[in-house]
Amino acid sequence: CCQSNDKGAPLRRLQAIGGVGDFMKPLSFKRHRFPAEVIRHAVWLYFRFSLSFRDVEELMAQRGIDVSYETIRCWTIKFGPLIARRLKKRRVPPTGRWHLDEMVCKIGGRRMYLWRAVDDEGEVLDVVVQRQRDTEAALKLIRRLLRNQPVEPETITTDGLASYCAARDQLALRHLHRPGRLRDNNRVENSHLPIRRRERQQQRFKSQASAQRFLTTHAAIYNTFNIQCHLISRPTLRRFRGDADAAWAAATI
């Protein structure tokens, strides 16, 4: 029930919108001791795989590049959000079938909630880190989606949390809301797994602001490289990987 019937969807996900991004200024790597290629590769390694800064430092050292993990951290903070915005602009619009869910986590020793939305093909639409699990938090997520997504929702599937029902009534979205059982929302439940892996690797997020920054950047890069290898043939996989690498290269010029 969570798989899309549109077999052409992964290909559309990897196609850039015509003309989008052509007007964007190139990234500036001035006043950095290391070449742009090194910085791009370090940032890609950190966000693409479940690696710590020290892991990336060791991988770079194996290639003869002596750079500290603290320098890599600074690169991810400076260039990560810029690259993520460029990748997001180059993506084709998601579908209008949205799945919403929240997951609990510890951030800075406090219990917080990651409110997440994906479409029916696994594209991460938005992530909002909030302290509460109430109607106001649900309203914030849905309003952000309605404001920032380039498509109108066709359906909004959630679990049985009452906060979604209250938010939907305030926004007059009752006709779109599909509150369902757990299996009806498997798409978003499964999409939590990469976040859990990163949370463990980073020994939990340290602050609400840093968690929001990382998750927003990670979502854009995850969307670009999430090819769903088990659904396609090897030749198609090679082509999709090439398209994803080309999208990354264009966004990091």
CA distance 76 to 207: 16
Is residue 241's pLDDT more than 90? yes
**pLDDT of 18 above 70:** no
Q: Please indicate whether residue 21 or residue 117 has the higher confidence score (pLDDT).
A: 117
Q: How confident is the model at residue 3 (pLDDT cuts 50, 70, 90)?
A: very low
User: pTM of the predicted model, to two decimals?
Assistant: 0.87
pLDDT digits (tens, 9 = 90+) for 62-95: 999 999 999 999 999 999 999 999 999 989 999 9
Question: Are 153 and 174 in contact, with CB atoms under 8 Å apart?
Answer: no
Express each pLDDT in 37-69 by its tens digit.
999 999 999 999 999 999 999 999 999 999 999
Side by side, which strands form the sheet with 177-179?
A: 124-130, 110-119, 97-107, 155-158, 177-179
**Which H or E run includes 129?**
strand 124-130
Residue 217 has pLDDT above 60, yes or no: yes
